[in-house]
Amino acid sequence: MGNSKTDRRIIRTKKFIRDALTELMEEKGFEGVTVRDLTKKADINRGTFYLHYQDKYDLLEKSENEVIQEIKEFIKKANPNEIVSANLKEQPLPFIIALFEYIQENARFMQVMLGPKGNPGFHLKIKEVMKTNMLEKLELMDNKTPPLVPLEHLMSYVTSAHLGVIQHWLEQDMKQSPREMALTLASMTFLGPAYVAGIKRT
């Protein structure tokens, strides 16, 4: 990685540009944003933009990847067996709480990227991270029996569900605490949506 210290000016400029991206996407969506807009809002010369990014797509990707990288860090910390035990005690998982807190801190960016004007590719990236993690953790778990449906479908189901709830939480301006959210997610995944909904099984 950037071994040599980065010039202050570069850091400054990049920050301006990325902030401008968030703001402008909020207004117009990614499609509507032009490099002109970005540089105008960031108050830099248009040429300067091209000194750092190939085009707006490059900017989007690099911004996304930074977040993805940080999310990966959080997720690594999860302990596989802790997952089952914590849930049995109706305790939310610490690393999930931490994740919600991280999202909350970067709410503006996440809200835009996951919102209706966001980028579907970003969804995919996040789901991919979740999936990889879940498969790893599942592999390491103690008491388990063979899955009843294709694992691939199960993964799509759970990752989409979780991301969907996060999306909704952001849209609603995060009215619930990270802790509440973690618990709600765990309930639905462990007890099952139908049960949680109150549909009796017998």
Q: Rule CB under 8 A: which residues touch a copy of itself? A: 30-31, 84, 88, 115-121, 123-124, 127, 138, 141, 143-154, 156-165, 167-169, 172, 176, 184-185, 187-201
Task: Give the one entry of DNA, a copy of itself, none that residue 127 binds, where binding means its C-beta sits below a cut-off of 5 to 8 angstroms depending on kind.
Answer: a copy of itself
29: burial class by Cβ within 10 Å (0-12, 13-18, 19+)? middle
95 vs 169, beta carbon nearer a copy of itself:
169
The DSSP output letter for 202 is: -
Query: Out of 22, 48, 184, 187, which residue is the one contacting DNA (CB under 7 A)?
Result: 48
Beta carbons of 94 and 101 less than 8 angstroms apart: no
User: What distance in Å separates the CA atoms of residue 29 and residue 16, rounded to the nearest whole number?
Assistant: 18
Query: Out of 1, 2, 8, 172, which residue is the one contacting DNA (CB under 7 A)?
Result: 8
2 vs 146, beta carbon nearer a copy of itself:
146
**Minimum distance from CB of 7 to a copy of itself (Å)?**
32
Query: 93-121 burial by CB neighbour count: b if 16+ within 10 A, else e?
Result: bebbbbbbebbeeeeebbbbbbeebbbee
Beta carbons of 153 and 92 less than 8 angstroms apart: no
* Site membership for DNA, residue 1 (CB under 7 A): no
Q: Which residue has the tokens 């909704």?
A: 168
**Minimum distance from CB of 41 to DNA (Å)?**
12
* Site membership for DNA, residue 9 (CB under 7 A): yes
Contacts of DNA in 16-35 (CB under 7 A): 34-35
Beta carbons of 13 and 52 less than 8 angstroms apart: yes
Residue 2, token pair as written in the block = 């950037």
65 vs 156, beta carbon nearer a copy of itself:
156
Beta carbons of 108 and 168 less than 8 angstroms apart: no
Residues that bind DNA (CB under 7 A): 4-5, 7-10, 12-13, 34-37, 43-48, 50-52, 54-56
